[in-house]
Amino acid sequence: MAETLPPTAEGVKECAERLRAGKLVAFPTETVYGLGANALDEPAVRDIFACKGRPLSDPLIVHVASVDDALGCIDIDGVTREAFVALASEFWPGGLTLVAPARAHLPTCLGAGTGSVGVRVPSHPLALELLREAKVPVAAPSANRFGHVSPTMAAHVAADLGESDITILNGDNDERYTDWTCKHGVESTVCKLDAAAGELVVYRRGAVSEGEIVRALTAANLQKQFAVRIVCKHIPMPGQGPITDTVAAPPSGPLKRKMSDDWDTEPKSNGAKSTNGSSAGGAEEGGDESGSGGGGGGSGGGGGDRQRQRVEASEQSVENSEESEVGQEAPGQLITHYAPDVPTFMIRRAADPTTGNAGVDVLGGDAAGGDAVAGGTVAARQAALQESVVLDYGGYLIAYADQALAYRDLSPKGDTQEAARGLFAALRWTEDIEGAKRVLICDVMAAAPATDEHAATVADRAFRAASGRVLLIGAEPTDLPPLS
């Protein structure tokens, strides 16, 4: 049975001793709760996989207390080391994981046999205190059963892993940590520096946006050595075939949107509004190269010439589960991830530029998804919504609020960082709604401005929570037939 300890000096000391002794300890970070083990102790690391039900092909992230500790885990030199230190100096402690060749003393299972390992320094004061007290690097994925919604509270950890022999360091009820525990609400960004290829590859979007990374590389005068490329895979779960009940999904999932594929390398002073006051764009394969989403051209309006850096993006939808047995470079690559125990579907308006299908309405008519959302008549539509929980963003699906079994807006004011902080708790909330047969979650990429740097991260989590199933509704909610 799991034991919960308070975040006192004695509690931290006890957790550190248990880590050194090869035990598993769950602890809060600024992203989500992690399930930690001594990263130098291979049997303990393997216990993480067993406890979570996690395949060995899904690598772990090693948490350390300092940049020097991180450099002690990896084998890099030259311009790669220069860029590593520059990014670490900018974002650590914080929500960025950097993948690099692992030193020989680390267990190979940490990196899924790839020879690499991801490292980061968390910013949560309690996590740092634990790492300093333990005096060992700590491998820690999210502290939940594999594929389920990530935990942002100690109670979430206990709900998933409470029957396991673990210790939970509770950081929820101490005012010292109110502003720290899971303040991002989503996991760290994972990227790898590849000097030979001249690129920085983002494998998992997270707490740090691509725009922030580009600006940090530019500030260090390394933007020419490391072009930023985004690679998001959609790999079926082990033993899972292709997702066949997708009603309608764009070829590249949540990345596909009309926007600039260039980033300004410095914030705009008078550009389009985003949640953190800086300008950004995402990426689309073969997208608009005019810079329409990022301020246009190679210069800002009245701001003089700005350096710009192209961000290439690709999403790979894997048709079978064979690749789930292959060691991945980074966690978070499976198509089913962060998923509640209620069938979940991402909702997007058919008129959005993210799709090529106009006027498709899966809440009525023929839906390839079968029971996904039954349609055909007003009565069937109403009955389906009365069994559905709607998670909205910025009022995008407000037309369903009165008809749905339950409704919650992740951010009524349209703040993607607020939505990220509440996303996983909201997904777990849907599991507690009696009578819920499905969850309909808003596609934040469709609802947020193209300049929003954090929309893609929230959309990625929702897309994977829905196992890649995207449902199209009419051009506007008001275009739908009456629901009652």
User: For each of the chain's 484 residues, which pLDDT tens digit applies?
Assistant: 999 999 999 999 999 999 999 999 999 999 999 999 999 999 999 999 999 999 999 999 999 999 999 999 999 999 999 999 999 999 999 999 999 999 999 999 999 999 999 999 999 999 999 999 999 999 999 999 999 999 999 999 999 999 999 999 999 989 999 889 999 999 999 999 999 999 999 999 999 999 999 999 999 999 999 999 998 888 887 665 544 433 333 333 444 433 233 333 333 333 333 333 333 333 222 233 223 233 333 333 333 333 344 456 555 544 444 555 678 889 988 999 999 999 999 998 765 444 433 333 444 433 333 334 444 566 777 788 899 999 999 999 998 999 899 999 999 999 999 999 999 999 999 999 999 999 999 999 999 999 999 999 999 999 999 999 988 876 444 444 333 3
Backbone φ and ψ of 337, nearest 5°: -160, 150
d(CA 115, CA 117): 7
Residue 392 is classified by DSSP as E
Cβ atoms of residues 88 and 120 within 8 Å: no
Q: What are phi and psi of 171, to 5 degrees?
A: -110, 20
**Three-class secondary structure of residue 426 per DSSP:** helix
Locate 323 and state its tokens.
């690749």
In Å, how far are 81, 83, 120, 228 from 78, measured between CA atoms?
5, 9, 20, 19
Which tokens hold the place of 75? Answer: 């084998």
Helices (H), 312-363: none
Instruction: Name the one residue in this structure whose structure tokens are 């030199």.
Output: 77
Q: Which of 5, 226, 33 is nearest to 143 (CA)?
A: 33
- CA distance readout (Å), 151 to 32, 161, 172, 338, 416: 6, 11, 12, 9, 19
| pLDDT for the residue 367 | 32
Question: ω into residue 93 within 30 of 0, thus cis?
Answer: yes
CA 190 to chain centre: 9
Provide the token pair at 146: 């594999």
Q: Which of 115, 155, 126, 160 is nearest to 141 (CA)?
A: 160
- For residue 14, what is the enclosing H or E element? helix 9-20
Distances (CA, A) of 193 to 77, 85, 209, 410: 11, 11, 16, 34
Choosing among 3.30.930.10, 3.40.1280.10, 3.40.1190.20, 3.90.870.10, the CATH entry for 3-76+89-177 is 3.90.870.10
Rounded CA-CA distance 477/469 in Å is 19
Residue position matching structure tokens 């047969």: 437
Q: Would you say the C-alpha torsion 94, 95, 100, 104 has a positive or negative sign?
A: positive
- 3-state SS, residue 161: helix
- Positive/negative CA dihedral, 273, 279, 284, 287: positive
Residue 479, C-beta contacts closer than 8 angstroms, at least 6 positions apart: none
Distances from the Cα of 275 to the Cα of 14, 207, 451, angstroms: 40, 13, 9
Which residues sit opposite 229 in a β-bridge?
201, 312
pLDDT of residue 423: 98
Q: Are 277 and 267 in contact (CB under 8 A)?
A: yes
Domain ranges for the chain: 3-76+89-177, 189-325, 344-479
- Look at residue 137 in the predicted model and tell me its pLDDT: 99
pLDDT at position 51, please?
Answer: 98
